[in-house]
Amino acid sequence: MRVFDREKGFAMGRYRSFDETRAMDGAIACFRERGYHASSMRDLEREMGLKSSSLYNAFGDKKTLFLRALEAYMDASPRRRIALLDRSADPLAAIECFLGSIVLVSAADPCGCLLVNSAASPVALDKEIRAAVSGGLGELEAALLRALERAVTQGSLAPEAPVRDLARVLLGAVVSIRVLSRTSPGEPWLRSIADGALAQLRASSPAALAS
Amino acid sequence: MRVFDREKGFAMGRYRSFDETRAMDGAIACFRERGYHASSMRDLEREMGLKSSSLYNAFGDKKTLFLRALEAYMDASPRRRIALLDRSADPLAAIECFLGSIVLVSAADPCGCLLVNSAASPVALDKEIRAAVSGGLGELEAALLRALERAVTQGSLAPEAPVRDLARVLLGAVVSIRVLSRTSPGEPWLRSIADGALAQLRASSPAALAS
DNA sequence: GAAGATCTGGAGCGCATGTTTCAGAATCAA
DNA sequence: TTGATTCTGAAACATGCGCTCCAGATCTTC
């Protein structure tokens, strides 16, 4: 509303004295570490550097804030990975790189992924939030599927490769790595899962399926 | 204390007027559906059929209750599956049966597994609870590893099969199935992940590794 | 400057939370 | 029966929750 009016030239009233992006980062960090139910509005105010009135004025109530944080997180992390997948010249190498990165990040940061954490959380019992989470996971799955289909087109995967199932396996690997990283099993442990999923891709290579 | 004294013949005081097992089942159901932080003591009182004084007297505070519920859940579900694995004559078939059952149960009941849900939940930030969760997941991994090693001994898996990595992949499949089932993707979707993991086992069969 | 709009800081709303307290009921040993 | 012990039901306790309100500051338009 503020932005809308101001952009239209109807601008009026006091400016916001905080960086909305930085505030969102604080919200993401809070929800990522403590989840929805264990993050109090006081926690969020502190991590976002806002007083409650500013917070409510700018971002709405707790649920709306969560939905915005999830959306901002999607832009900041999963969708960047998706863009890398889509832009890569070698889709299989990009997938390998993708999983390897997930392993490294997960081993280093036990907070996990806001999207995956939310899927396992009771906050997903809420209809809107579950829709957002399903949507986010669906984006990832679709991106992996696109990459696999490109690999088929390029000949690095056999035409009869079960790309739809493989995309699900890859998404499953990401999910399990991110969940299990919360118990700090160590990087080699997590890499076992990533390598297992990648081995399945290789089992669908033209050479493997020809024999 | 009550039980202890009574068993020793020093018994005194009023009997408990509720079924402790039934009460634990209520606690498990509550924590499984709503998780730790979103389950209020009032919710637990209702689902367990207890007043707060009885609840605190019998099970301690919320965290202690959660730890007991997790332990009871382990006995009621994962450890039964583990026993089936250990007792089976054909370990690979038992693993297949195990994963298939997880798929069916997960598709039918979107509440998921208390152990897996807890791993992804911020309640696992607590040291004791994280230890319990890690222990539970470790039991599962160890059981899968035992089954795989028996498969090697029996000759249904090649001696050079990477059983440790395969056990992790299988545990990862279980985790991802249980997490993703919370977004209700449907049974065929979940089965793709189970079948993928099983395909990896077959890739370590003596025949596959001989070629 | 005045009028109108928005944002900030702080106080505080009503309510739910986890937990405690306690009188009374139930049980046993003596 | 009496005394000791434990359990039950109901009523709270203090605290923290999500959220609102409002006076005053800051901004644009006139």
- pLDDT tens sequence across B112-124: 999 999 999 999 9
User: Who among B34, B130, B196 is closest to A122 (CB)?
Assistant: B34
d(CA B108, CA B135): 27
Q: What is the mean pLDDT of each run of 10 residues along chain A (211 residues)?
A: 43 88 98 98 98 97 98 98 98 98 96 97 98 98 98 98 98 98 97 98 92 69
Contact B152, B92 (CB under 8 A): no
Domain with CATH 1.10.10.60 in chain A: 12-69
Residues of A in contact with B196 (CB under 8 A): 165-166, 168-169, 172, 197, 200
Residues of B in contact with A33 (CB under 8 A): 122, 125
Q: Does residue B2 have a pLDDT over 50?
A: no
Residue B2, CB, less than 7 Å from strand D?
A: yes
Interface test with A, best of B175, B189, B209 (most A CBs within 10 A): B175
Contact B119, B137 (CB under 8 A): yes
Q: For residue B27, give the nearest of B69, B75, B87 by alpha carbon.
A: B69
Q: Tell me the shortest Cα–Cα distance from A192 to chain B, in angstroms.
A: 5
- Tell me, what's the pLDDT at B72? 98
Contact A60, A74 (CB under 8 A): no
Judge whether B172 is closer than 8 Å to chain A, CB to CB.
yes
d(CA A11, CA A8): 7
Residue A1, CB, less than 7 Å from strand D?
A: no
Q: Which residue has the tokens 């408990």?
A: B16
- Tell me, what's the pLDDT at A11? 56
- Tell me, what's the pLDDT at B207? 92
Instruction: For B4-17, write each residue's pLDDT tens digit.
Output: 444 444 557 899 99
Nearest-CA residue of chain A relative to B169?
Answer: A193
Residues of B in contact with A165 (CB under 8 A): 192, 195-196
A14 φ/ψ sector (left φ>0, alpha ψ -120 to 50, else beta): beta
- Tell me, what's the pLDDT at B11? 56
d(CA B28, CA B113): 10
CATH class of A12-69: mainly alpha
CATH 3.40.50.620 fits B77-210, yes or no: no
- Tell me, what's the pLDDT at A7? 44
Exposed/middle/buried for B144, CB within 10 Å: 0-12, 13-18, 19+?
A: buried
Instruction: For B149-194, write each residue's pLDDT tens digit.
Output: 999 999 999 999 999 999 999 999 999 999 999 999 999 999 999 9
Structure ipTM: 0.93
Contact A29, A72 (CB under 8 A): no
- Tell me, what's the pLDDT at B204? 97
- Tell me, what's the pLDDT at A209? 82
Mean of per-residue pLDDT scores for chain B:
94
- Tell me, what's the pLDDT at B7? 45
Domain with CATH 1.10.10.60 in chain B: 14-70
- Tell me, what's the pLDDT at A166? 98
Pair of tokens at residue A185: 């099993």
Judge whether B163 is closer than 8 Å to chain A, CB to CB.
no
> Residue B1's pLDDT band (boundaries 50, 70, 90)?
very low
Q: What share of chain B is helix, strand, coil (3-state, %, to 5)?
A: 75, 0, 25
Domain with CATH 1.10.357.10 in chain B: 77-210
- Tell me, what's the pLDDT at B5? 45
Task: Please give the distance of CA B181 from its chain centroid, rounded to a whole number.
Answer: 15
| CATH superfamily name and code, B14-70 | Homeodomain-like (1.10.10.60)
Residue A15, CB, less than 7 Å from strand C?
A: yes
